[in-house]
Amino acid sequence: MNGLLRDQKKKSTRENITRNAIQMFKEKGYDNVTVEEIAAACGIAKGTFFNYFPKKEHVLLYVADSYAGLMDDIVARHQDGPLKQRILRILRDLLHIYMQHEELLRLTLMETIKAEIVSGSELTNISNFKNALRRVMVDAGELDPQQRLSDPELSAGVVVGLLFQTLITLSSKMNEDGIYGSIERQLDAVWEGIGR
């Protein structure tokens, strides 16, 4: 019983830190918030913060991790239809979620990209998303040879790059429909082959 209570307390503390940090990031801007301020808002010592997150950036990475299950649900929802249309529906759903929480998810996306670059690891949400798309592409090709792609790994990487590049460069300049239109046009160009 003690272990269960301890685990619940840890989870509650982690969620409290995350909730307060996100609120402060939204109010003051990520760069203007210190670990000391987050700890004070949570009613914990600075050292307690570091028991849960090694750095302030890890709060954002934790948020990104919490979206992993949602991403899997979105991919699972779009199992029917032509491959390109399935991919566009997946991207549309992800874009919709991104736009609902744009400020926070933009920071989260940037930290996730940095983490992938620094670690050189393929254990981030970016890699997980790429692998999920690759599986969609492979499965589509196995069900219908007409939809088989020559290199699903490369193709998935291109689609992920297209989405993230578009989110980073356009989300503050366009509305959701405009961004989706841009994603759709870019995917059309890639799908048809840039050199054609």
One-letter amino acid identity for 67? Answer: Y
Q: What is the pLDDT of residues 21-72, one digit of tens each?
A: 988 988 888 889 999 999 999 999 999 999 999 988 888 888 877 777 788 8
The gap between the terminal CA atoms of the chain, to the nearest Å, is 65
For 54, the 3-state DSSP assignment is coil
The token duo for 17 is 């830190």
The predicted structure's pLDDT at residue 119:
67
In degrees, rounded to 5, the angle at the alpha carbon of residue 54 between the alpha carbons of residues 51 and 57 is 130
Contact criterion met (CB below 8 Å) for 21 and 61:
no
Buried b / exposed e along 20-53 (16+ C-beta atoms within 10 A): bbbebbeeeebeebebeebbebbebeeeebeebb
| pTM greater than 0.85 (yes/no) | no
- Give me the residues of the chain with pLDDT under 70, please: 1, 119-124, 194-196
The predicted structure's pLDDT at residue 26:
82
Residues sharing a CB contact under 8 Å with residue 166, sequence separation 6 or more, in sequence order = 179, 182, 183, 186
One-letter amino acid identity for 110? Answer: M
For 29, the 3-state DSSP assignment is coil
Residues sharing a CB contact under 8 Å with residue 57, sequence separation 6 or more, in sequence order = 111, 114, 115
